[in-house]
Structure 1
Amino acid sequence: MLQQLKDAALKAQKNAYAPYSKFRVGAAIVAEDGNVYYGCNVENAAFPQGQCAEASAIGTMITAGATQIKQILVASPNDDYCYPCGGCRQKIAEFASADTPVFMLTASGECTKTTVSELLPHTYSLPEEQNRG
């Protein structure tokens, strides 16, 4: 399954829209339905209006009807690991459990693993009774 995540994230990374930073990122998710969902970063001239690859992948997953991240991988365009930003850490935590694996992949193929709770030890969440839609 890890190879499928890598392949999907790298495929998405190729389609990233990053004309300003040239920092093309891809992300891929395995959801509870067993499917792989992926996305890329999409920049905008109004910089805060762009979207990270992780957010794009989560949006694709939700659009397809899946709601639980089982694994996620982020592909970096260089030889540094591309850890999710603070906002994406919270977005991932919204749809994942504390022990969900989070992988980071470098351009040279090095891969490291962490968990949601290691990335974001103090997630923001609503009490369970308020978090029902």
Structure 2
Amino acid sequence: MGEKQILSYIETAIIARENAYAKYSNFKVGAIVVDENNNIYKGVNVENGSYGLSNCAERSAVFSGISNGMKKIKVICIVADTKEPVSPCGACRQVIREFSNNETIIILANLNKDYKLYTIEELLPYAFKL
């Protein structure tokens, strides 16, 4: 995957981020998932007054993909307004792992379009597996 494609994915996640519902933390996150057929699914964080009921952008995007027939994540891109590229929480790493393989590319980025590329093994070594 080239730089132009990576930046396109980041831009799509930045645009998706605007729909985040982050009225408690004011920390908006956007994510996109690209499946094995190059379909794109968007997700944002959705907060709730009862914080445990909130959902992260990464999981929202993955769940949208699964709901629409996705089998595996080809690429996932996560963006937030952070100094360094944003990093997913542990729960999101585990969900990403469930639908990833060794070829899955994980793009962590910020609004300045600074980014880092990872594999799921780099983000979640020794993941829980059934």
Q: TM-score under structure 1 normalisation?
A: 0.89
User: Which residue of structure 1 lines up, in the alignment, with residue 15 of structure 2?
Assistant: 11
Deviation at 1:79, TM superposition (A): 2.1
- Gaps spanning 5+ residues in structure 1: where? 127-133
User: C-alpha deviations, 1:46-98, integer Å up to 9, x for none?
Assistant: 00110000000001101111120011111012322211100000000000014
**What SS does structure 2 have at the residue aligned with 1:90?**
helix
Select which of 32, 38, 46 maps to 1:28.
32
1:50 maps to 2:48:
no
Indicate if the aligned counterparts of 1:5 and 1:36 stay in contact, CA closer than 8 A.
no
Indicate if the aligned counterparts of 1:99 and 1:116 stay in contact, CA closer than 8 A.
no
Indicate if the aligned counterparts of 1:30 and 1:72 stay in contact, CA closer than 8 A.
yes
Aligned length, in residue pairs = 126
Query: Percent of aligned positions with the same letter in both sequences?
Result: 37
* Structure index of larger Rg: 1
Paired AA for residue 14 in structure 1: E
Paired AA for residue 11 in structure 1: I
Supply the distance in 2 between the matched residues of 1:79 and 1:72 (Cα, whole angstroms): 20
User: Which residue of structure 2 lines up, in the alignment, with residue 76 of structure 1?
Assistant: 80
Q: TM-score under structure 2 normalisation?
A: 0.91
Indicate if the aligned counterparts of 1:16 and 1:40 stay in contact, CA closer than 8 A.
yes
Supply the distance in 2 between the matched residues of 1:81 and 1:4 (Cα, whole angstroms): 16
Supply the distance in 2 between the matched residues of 1:84 and 1:99 (Cα, whole angstroms): 19
- Cα 1:4–1:35 change in 2 (3 A) is farther
Indicate if the aligned counterparts of 2:84 and 2:114 stay in contact, CA closer than 8 A.
no
**What SS does structure 1 have at the residue aligned with 2:122?**
helix
Paired AA for residue 67 in structure 1: K
1:125 maps to 2:100:
no
Query: Once superposed, what is the RMSD of the aligned Cα atoms?
Result: 1.2
